[in-house]
Amino acid sequence: MEKDDVYKTIGAPSPEILYKDKKSKFFASAFPITSEDEVKPIVEELRKKYHTANHVCYAWQLGEKQRSYRANDDGEPNNSAGMPIYGQIQSFDVTNILVTVTRIFGGTKLGVGGLIQAYKTAAQMALESTEIVERVIQDQLLLRFGYPEMDKVMRAIKQKNLDMVSQKMDMDCELILSVRLSETEQVLQLFDEMQGVDVSII
């Protein structure tokens, strides 16, 4: 089976991990997310939970085919927190994920090298404690056709065992199908060759 149409993510939030270095405490967690909008509420919740924390640093990565990411040092020296966390997301090759590390200062400065190591280790421990799952990348196809075509379209969907996401039956019919990325071309061609059926990727 093709492996280029799968991606790795986490099935559920990780347990919270505590890493200590020179009395500084680093609380690390990993959360599955589907959009950037979910990041802020999680980070604010952590600020409330650890109201004595000096920094809530994090990194996230989103997307299956095209990936976007952000790393945030939250007041720590430049690139000493967010990027080491993001480095672990890359090294575990996971996406649709937010990894946070909340630091409570213990009175001894760690220096930039020490911070990089501490944030990296805490993020790594959080990711090691999660269940990493493989998901299939899906394309969504929109089919438009008239009622006379209904039978042949439905027959093809059943034969190919395709997932129907939604259907709208007005004057014309509209169906949205979810198709595995590696099978998209084949399915597009199948419906493209049908008289009276319009198919496109959405």
pTM for this predicted structure: 0.80
172 closest CA partner among 153, 158, 185, 192: 153
Run of H or E residues at 25: strand 24-32
Task: Provide φ and ψ at 78, rounded to 5°.
Answer: -45, 125
Quote the distance between the C-alpha of residue 81 and its chain's center.
20
Residue 83 and residue 17: Cα distance in Å, rounded?
19
User: Within the chain, how many helices (H) and strands (E) appear?
Assistant: 5, 11
Q: Which CATH superfamily is domain 4-133 in?
A: Impact, N-terminal domain (3.30.230.30)
Which range, 6-15, 117-126, 158-167, has the best average confidence (pLDDT)? Answer: 117-126
pLDDT tier, 3 (very low <50, low <70, confident <90, very high otherwise)? low
Q: What secondary structure does DSSP assign to 105-119, as a single string?
A: --SS--HHHHHHHHH
Same fold, 4-133 and 136-199: no
What confidence tens digit (pLDDT) does each residue in 90-137 have? 999 999 999 999 999 988 899 999 999 999 999 999 999 999 999 988
* For residues 185-196, average pLDDT: 90
Domain boundaries, the chain: 4-133, 136-199
What confidence tens digit (pLDDT) does each residue in 12-68 have? 999 999 999 999 999 999 999 999 999 999 999 999 999 999 899 999 999 988 899
CATH domain 136-199 topology: Alpha-Beta Plaits (3.30.70)
Given a contact cutoff of 8 angstroms between Cβ atoms, the answer to whether 72 and 103 are in contact is no
Structural tokens at position 137:
């990348």
* For residues 70-92, average pLDDT: 96
At 2 the pLDDT is 47
At 4 the pLDDT is 73
